[in-house]
Structure 1
Amino acid sequence: MTELLKIHPADNVIVALRDFRAGEEVELPEGGTLPFREDVPTKHKFAERDFAEGDTITMYGVTVGKTLRPVPRGTRISTENVVHASSDYSVGQRSTEWDAPDVSAFRGRTFSGYHRGDGQVGTRNYWLVIPLVFCENRNVEVIQSAMLEKLGYVTDRAFSVDVDALIAKYRAGAAEEDILSTEILRSGTELHGKRVFPNVDGIKFLTHQGGCGGIRQDSEALCRLLAGYLNNPNVAGGTVLSLGCQNAQAGFLQEALDRIAPDFSKPLYILEQQRSKSEREFIAEAVKVTFTGLMQANQIERRPAGLEHLTLGLECGGSDGFSGISANPALGYASDLLVSLGGKAILSEFPELNGVEQELVNRCVTEEGALKFAHLMRSYSQRAEAVGSAFSMNPSPGNIRDGLITDAMKSAGAAKKGGTSPVVDVLDYTEQATRPGLNLLCTPGNDVESTTGLAGSGANLIVFTTGLGTPTGNPITPTVKMASNTALAQRMADIIDINAGTVISGEDTIQSKGEELLELLLRVASGEQLTRAEQLGQDDFIPWKRGVSL
C-alpha cells in the first residue's frame, strides 16, 4: 500500500495515507526523503517544504490556503497554521475539449424503468402526498398512518425495539443499570408480497415547515420545488393538500408545473381544507383520491430504457481527507461514463465549489452559462457575508478533524464528483436539468437541502459520497452511499452501499471503481437492488429557504 500521495505535480503539501510518528523518515513520491517533525494522522496533509508566513498552500493544483506563520517541512497543515484562501476567477477564454472515457463496456446497455407520457423514464414508481403549507403536516401524517401499512408499504423492517421489555422491568422494580443492560433489539419483519399495488414502489408522504410566514419568494420557490418533485420521472402522480389561505397557493404550484412540464399528464389531485365540510371529510377524500391514483399508477410496468434516460445527482456529505482522492473522483468517472452515453449528471453544493470556480467557468460550453455560474457564486457568497458568515466557514468540525481544514481544500476535492466533462448548463435552485451532459445546480452545501434540490431538478438517481458516514436518503430518488475509506464501510455497513476505500489501498483504480459504481447504479435503477437508504426508510426532505422569516 502506498503511504503518501501528492495529488497534483504543482502541490506543495502531501497527503498521509497512514499515521506517521514524529521522527519517522519517508521517501517522497518525487524522490528524496523527509523526516517528520511531529505526528501526522491519516488523511491529514503535511508540508513538503518550509513555508514562510503568508505563503500559498496548493493542493489539487489550486490555492487552498495561506500560512498564518512559518510552517517547517514535515509538519502537519492545520487550522492553527493555515487559513482559507482561494484564487479569483473571471469569464474569458474557455476550453471545452474533453478526453471522454472508453464506454464500450456500457454501450447498448439498458435498465428497466417506468416510462412516462412525456418521454422521461423513472427508476422508481412512487405516489406523492404533499402539503403546500406546514399547517397540513398533521393531516399528511394521519393519511400516512391510515394507508401505508394497510397497502403493504411498511417493508424490510431491519429491526424493532422492544419497549415492552423495558416497561416490564421497570414495573418489576429494576434499577437503572438493569434497564441499560437489557437487550431490546429484535430481528426485523418482512412484509413483501402483501402490496395491494405491486407495480407501485411506495407512497411518499412529504412534510416541511414552509409555505407561509416567510417571504413570498420562499413560498414561490417551494411551489417550484414541489412541481419538480411531481414532474420527476420517479413519480407517478400526487395528492396535494392545501389549507387555502397560505402564501404557497395552489395556483402557484399549477403555474410552476405548466412552466416546467406543459404536457404534464400524470394524475394530480389538489384538495383545499378550507373548502371542506370538516377535517374528517377532508382526510377521507384525500385517502380516496390517493387510492384511485394508486390504481392508475399500478398500470405502469417496467420496460427497457437506454442509459440516456438516467439523470445522476452528485452529492457528498460527512467528507473526510480521503473523499477527494477516492470516492469523489470515482463518482466523477462514473459521471463521465454516463455523460458519454447520453445521460445527465447534476453537480450541486455551490459553497463547496469555492476555489475551483475558474476550472468550472472554463468548462462551460456557452458564455451565457459561464456568466450565470459566476453570478450565482458571487451573489451567494455576498448573501452569506451579509449575515456575518462566508464560504470559508463551510468546513464542519468533522471535516476539520479528518483533514479538510479550509473550504477551498474541501471544495477542490468535492468538485471531483463532477468528473472532467464539459458543463452544458447552469441551473439556479429548482430549475430543471433538460440538457444531456454535466449540469451545475445552485444549492447549499447542507446535505439534505442539496439532495432535496437534486431530486427537484430531475435526478432519478443520486450517489452520496461520505468519509465520516451519514444516514441520509431522499424520498423519491434512490440514494447510493459510497464510502471514501474501508474503515467506514466496515463500521457503518448498514448505511454504505459501495466502498471506494479500495482505491486508497491500491486494490482498485479510480476507473475500475467508477465502472463498478455504474454497474451498481444500473441494478438500482432497474429495481433489482434497493439502496441501504431505501431499506432503512431514510426519506429526508428539506426545502431551501433563501430569505428571512416575516
Structure 2
Amino acid sequence: MLLEAGDNIIVATGDIEEGTQLLEHGVTVNHQTPQGHKIAIRNIQSGAPILKFGTVIGYAAQNIAPGDWLHSHNIRFDAVDKDYAFARDYTPTAILPEAERARFMGIRRANGQVGTRNYIGLFVTVNCSATVARKIGNYFDEERMEAWENVDGVIPFIHDSGCGMELTGEPMDLLRRTLAGYIRHPNMAGAVVLSLGCERNNLAQFFEEQGLAEGKMLKTITMQHVGGTARAIADGKDAVREMLTQANEVRRELCSAEHITIGMQCGGSDGLSGLSANPGLGAAADILVRNGGTAILSETPEIFGVEHLLTRRARTADVGAKLVERMDWWLEYTKGRDTQINGVVSPGNQAGGLANVLEKSLGGAKKSGSTGLMEVYRYAEPVTQKGLVFMDTPGFDPVSATGQIAGGANLICFTTGRGSCFGSYPSPTIKLASNTPMNTQMSDDMDINCGTVIDGEQSIEELGQTIFEHILAVASGSYSKSEAMGVGEEEFAPWPIGVTG
C-alpha cells in the first residue's frame, strides 16, 4: 500500500516473500517482509529522510535500494525540524443543528450530565482500605444484583497510592483529581469513599479541595473511626444497599449524541494501525464532533514528532502552545531515560512493523481525524470543551484511559494491531482491530474489524460510519466485548507520577 504519492516506502498489508515482484510499484522484494513492515520503492541515500504519509519517520542509516525491507536496523531515529504554525490550518467545524443530531439511549443525571452506564463505585483514599472495598464489591455479585436490574454493578476502584508520597504538589493533585473525576462521573449513580484514617491523602482535605460533600449518594467510611476492617465492610454494605434503591429508579431515554465523550486509545499497535483502525476512529471522531460530541486524544509521548500536525489545527495559538508546553515537560521528565519518547518503541510495536516513536506517533495521531484542536487539558482535568481535545497522559494504556474517564469520557475507543485485552469501568471500552488475521485470532476481545480497509472491503469513511454507529449502540446499553467478559476492574490506574518515600 502506497500511502501518499511522495512517499519513498510502501507498507506490506500481508507477509511478502523474498523475490516477489510488485509490478504496480516496479520493484522486486529483496527480503522477506512481515505484515505491517515497510519496503523501499526507490533508492534512498544514507542520511536521506524516510517518508510515510509524506512525513519524516527517520533517516536512512545506510544506502537503501528499491525492494529493501526497512525497519529499525536501517532507519535512524533523529530530531525532525517542526514548524508549529500555531492555528494556521484551523477551520471551525460545522456542527449539525440540534434536530439533525444522532441520538442514543442515555441516562440523564440531575446535574444535566448524561451517562452511558449506571454504577455504584467503591473508592479508596489509600491502598490501606483496598481490601475493604474489594470485599464489599464482591458481596454485591451477579446473583444479589438481580434485585436492582437497572444498576450495572457495584465496582471497587483500587489503587496503590495515597500515602508515603508527597503531601502537596503534582502527585497528590493527580490522585485527587482522578478520584474526584470518577466519583462525579455521569456513569456513576453513587459512591462510597473508604479511608484508613491516618493517610497522607486525608479524606477531609480531599473532599474540601475537590468540592465534594457527603449526601444520600455519596458516603464516607473511615476504618479507624468505625472500629476496623469488619465494621467498615458491614457499614459499606449498608451504605451501598441504601444507594441501590435510588440508583435503580433511573431509566434510559433518548439523548443527543452531543452528550457522548469518547477517550481514544491505541495499544499493541502495528504497522497497519495507522492505515486502518486509527484513521477509521478519526473518521468516527469527526462524525461525533459534527454531532456536537467530544473526542479526547491522549498519550503525549506517542504524538512526539508529529505534534506540529496538531498545533496547526489548534483553535488558537494559546491552545497550540499548551500542547508544546506539555511535550517539553515530557522531554525534560524523560531526559536520559530508556523510554519510547527517546526513540525505542516496545518489542511488540517493533515486531508489528513500527521502527521508532516517530512512526508510531504518525499512526497514533490519525485517531484525531480532521477537525480543529479545541483545547488541551492536564491529566484527569474535567473536560468541558466540546469537539476534539487533547489530554496530557502517559502512553501506558490503563493509566491514560483512567485519566480520560476521570475527565468525563463515558466511552473508550481502543485501537490495536497486535491485540489488546483491555477493558474499563465505569465507561465501557470498544476495541478496534487493525487487521483481519488478528481480529479472527482474538475475536472474543475485538468489537470491530478495521482490517476491512486493508482488505479493500471498506473505505476509511465507511469504516468511520460503522464505528460511530457502534458507539451509539454501546452508549445505549449494548455490551462491548470486554464488558461482557467483566474486564475492567483491575485497569483503574491513576498516574503514579513522582517520588515514593
The residue aligned with 2:10 is: 14
TM-score, length-normalised on structure 1? 0.86
- 2:148 corresponds in structure 1 to 197
* Mapped contact 1:98–1:420 kept (Cα < 8 A): no
Partner of 2:208: 255
Per the alignment, residue 504 of structure 1 pairs with: 454
Aligned with 1:427 (options 368, 377, 380): 377
1:48 counterpart = 2:48 = no
Alpha-carbon distance in structure 2 between the residues aligned to 1:394 and 1:350: 15
Match of 2:392 in 1: 442
Q: CA RMSD in A?
A: 2.1
- Larger Rg computed on CA atoms: 1
Q: Secondary structure at the match of 1:462?
A: strand
The CA distance in 1 between the partners of 2:215 and 2:104, in whole Å, is 24
1:109 offset after TM fit, Å? 2.6
Give the Cα separation in 2 of the matches to 1:419 and 1:253. 37
Distance, in Å, in 2 between the alignment partners of 1:127 and 1:486 is 37
Q: Counterpart in 2 of 1:235? A: 188
Q: Is the 8 A contact 2:19 2:30 kept in 1?
A: yes
Which residue of 484, 487, 497 maps to 1:535?
Answer: 484
Supply the distance in 1 between the matched residues of 2:3 and 2:299 (Cα, whole angstroms). Answer: 23
- Cα-to-partner distance string for 1:525-544 (whole Å, 9 max, x where unaligned): 111x2001101111111111
Amino acid at match of 1:145: N
Structure 1 residue 417: deviation in Å? 0.6
Tell me the equivalent position of 2:278: 328
- Output the amino acid matched with 2:486: G
- 8 A contact 2:96–2:290 mirrored in 1: yes
- Selected match of 1:472 from 392, 399, 422: 422
The one-letter amino acid of 1:310's match is I
Q: How many residues align?
A: 497
Distance (Å, rounded) in 1 between the aligned partners of 2:265 and 2:79: 22
Match of 1:178? none
Question: Which letter maps to 2:496?
Answer: K
Matched, 1:211 2:162: yes
Q: TM-score, normalised by structure 2?
A: 0.95
Contact 1:381 1:390 in 2 (8 A): no
Question: Does residue 107 of structure 2 align to residue 114 of structure 1?
Answer: yes
Structure 2 distance, partners of 1:68, 1:304, is 57
What secondary structure, in the 3-state scheme, does the structure 2 residue paired with 1:119 have? coil
**Is residue 56 of structure 2 the alignment partner of residue 63 of structure 1?**
yes
SS at 1:512's partner residue? helix
Matches within 5 A, 1:454-469: 454-469=404-419
How far is the alpha carbon of 1:10 from its aligned partner?
Answer: 2.9
Q: CA deviation at 1:280?
A: 1.8
C-alpha offsets along residues 289-336 of structure 1, whole Å, 9 cap, x if unaligned? Answer: 111111221122111110100001111101111100000000000000
Q: 1:226 aligns to what?
A: 179
Distance 2:130 2:236 in 1: 13
Question: 1:103 Cα shift?
Answer: 7.1
Equivalent residues of 2:300, 2:395 under 8 A apart:
yes
Segments of 5+ residues of structure 1 without an aligned counterpart are: 153-194
Task: Give the match's secondary structure for 1:544.
Answer: coil
The answer to whether the 8 Å contact 2:86/2:314 transfers is no
Match of 2:127 in 1: 134
Tell me, which stretches of 5 or more residues in structure 2 are unaligned? none
CA distance in structure 2 between the aligned counterparts of 1:332 and 1:266, rounded to whole angstroms:
40
- Counterpart residue number, 1:268: 218
Residue 312 (structure 1) aligns with: 262
| 2: CA distance, partners of 1:472 / 1:505 | 25
* Separation in 1, partners of 2:48, 2:280: 32
Counterpart residue type for residue 410 of structure 1:
K
Instruction: Output one character per residue of 1:202-221: Cα deviation in whole Å (capped at 9) or x when no partner.
Output: 11111110111123332331
User: Quick one: distance in 2 between partners of 1:86 and 1:526?
Assistant: 45
Contact 2:95 2:289 in 1 (8 A): no
Q: AA paired with 2:139?
A: A
How much has 1:87 moved relative to structure 2?
Answer: 2.4
Q: Any conservation in 2 of the 1:328–1:413 contact (CA below 8 Å)?
A: yes
